[in-house]
Every structure is written in structure tokens, then in C-alpha cells.
Amino acid sequence: MTNYEKAVALWKSKRIQTDAELAEALNGHSVLFAYHSGKIENENITYHDTREIFEHDGVTGYTGDLRTLFEIRNAKEATERFLTAFQERYPLNEALIRELQMLLTQNTYDTRRWQLGERPGEYKRHDFVTGKEEIGAAPKEISELLLELQEVENRNALTAAAYFHAKFENIHPFADGNGRVGRLAMNYFLVLHDHPPVIIHEEDRKEYYAALEAWDVRQELEPLRDFLKGQTEKTWKKQVARAEKRKGRERSER
């Protein structure tokens, strides 16, 4: 059994049904996910500040810019919605994606975007593109993408999640926050399909961007799928090791 398969098996063994069970299973991972996802986009985000806001709803002695503080606080609110949506078994649809984007970007749109009529929670009105190939597409393609994911079986969850994330970032439906929204929505899709969520570690961003570019340029999904497998292993490595150690003790006591 590969380390990836061990991580998936460990997650499935938890048989998570409620938001409380999901929160317990994630434990400190929610903080780590928010930190790494935010850090990919904003170098000013720190783990210390993220943990303080998640655990105490505030920071002491903060000297950074307000936008960074808002982004971290927004990540906490979006995480809370992630949990309640799971409790409701709310589908990954356009309404939820717009809601997550609104929560993640409220109070952070710059003056230029605001003057152009862009608003958190609404699809972009102008062409905000990204990547070496200047990608971007009409936001209406999001509905078509979500339709493609309706009949996905749990055993194909990671491949479907990679496809969703690659297409979502290619479409780039919002004026801001697409990366953070795409990563959070992808993880929501994964937990709905009984698959462990994935932390995309900020120190691996170059490999991450290269995998996204492989889709943008050549429509190759394998690099992103393989990258996500590796990140799943990295995310749950300690938990898998603890579980195996516990099983070893149990066997020795028999």
C-alpha cells in the first residue's frame, strides 16, 4: 500500500458524518491549510498570525497591513462555512462557490477593482487573467464544469478534484481570490467524496504552478493529479505514522 493509499484509508476509517467530526478530523489542519493557501498568494501571511486568529479571533502586537489581517480573518470565516456546508451536505454549486469567494475576499478588493464595478461574491465583469499564456474564460463556464462533476464516484475523487481545480483556475471566474477559492472548493469536493482534504504547501508552489500550466498549455492533467497525490501524502504523513505505530503496539500486546 502506498503512502497515498494509507492516507485515504485512514481518512475513510474515521467515517465522518457531521461537522463536529470533520472539525475533529481536521484538528490543526484547518489552520495549516489557511496559512499555506494564503501564503501562496501573500508573502506577509504568517503561521503565528493565522493560528492566533483561528484560535483566539485576534492577534496582539500586529504591525502588518490591514489587507493581510482581513485575508486571514476571512479564511477563518470561509473555513467555518466549509464545516457548516458539510453538515448540510450542501452541494458544490455556483452559489456555494460565490459565497466562499465573498467570504475570502470581503474588505480586500483594491480601489481599481472596486471602481471597475467588481464586487466580492460576484463573477468578474472584466478580463482578469493569469499565467504565462494569459488564460481566462467566461465565468459561465463554471456551471458547465460543475455539471461534469455531478456523477463522480468516490474512487475517482482525486482525479475529478484535479480536473476541477485545473479548469477552475483556467476559467479564473473572479476578479480576485481565484487561487484561494479554487483550493478551498477543491477540498470541499474531496471531503464530500470521502477523501482527505489536501494542503498545497507554499514551499511547493513552483511545482504547483507548473502542474497548473501543464493543463493550461497542453491539457495534461496527470502532473496536477500526481502533485495532489504527493501533497496528500505530505499533509497526512504524521497521522499515518501515528496510526501505524498504534497498530504495531496493539499487535505486540496480543
DSSP string over 53-105 = HHHHSS-SS--S-HHHHHHHHHHHHHHHHHHHHHHHT----HHHHHHHHHHHH
Give, in order, the Cα–Cα distances in Å from 44 to each of 63, 64, 204, 223.
11, 8, 17, 29
Query: Is 13 among the domain residues?
Result: yes
Would residue 41 count as lying in a domain? yes
Q: How many CA atoms lie within 13 A of 97 on its CB side?
A: 25
What is the CATH number for 36? 1.10.3290.10
Task: Work out the pLDDT band at 244, boundaries 50, 70, 90.
Answer: confident
Residue 207 has pLDDT above 70, yes or no: yes
DSSP 3-state assignment of 150?
A: coil
Q: Taking all residues of the chain, what is their mean pLDDT, rounded to a whole number? A: 93
Does the residue 254 lie in any domain?
no
Residues in the chain: 254
Instruction: Decide if pLDDT at 105 tops 80.
Output: yes
pLDDT, position 250: 67
Share of the chain above pLDDT 70, in %: 94
Predicted model pTM: 0.93
pLDDT computed for residue 83 by the predictor:
98
In a domain, 253, yes or no: no
Please classify residue 99 by burial: count the beta carbons closer than 10 Å to its beta carbon, then call 0-12 exposed, 13-18 middle and 19+ buried.
middle
Query: Structural domain tally of the chain?
Result: 1
221: pLDDT strictly greater than 90:
yes
Residue 214 belongs to what domain range? 3-248
Judged against a pLDDT cut of 70, whether residue 56 lies above it is answered with: yes
* Any domain includes 185: yes
Please report the pLDDT score of residue 222 as a whole number. Answer: 98
Q: What backbone phi and psi angles, to 5 degrees, belong to 135?
A: -75, 170
Note the pLDDT tens digit of each residue in 131-185: 555 555 567 789 999 999 999 999 999 999 999 999 999 999 999 999 999 999 9
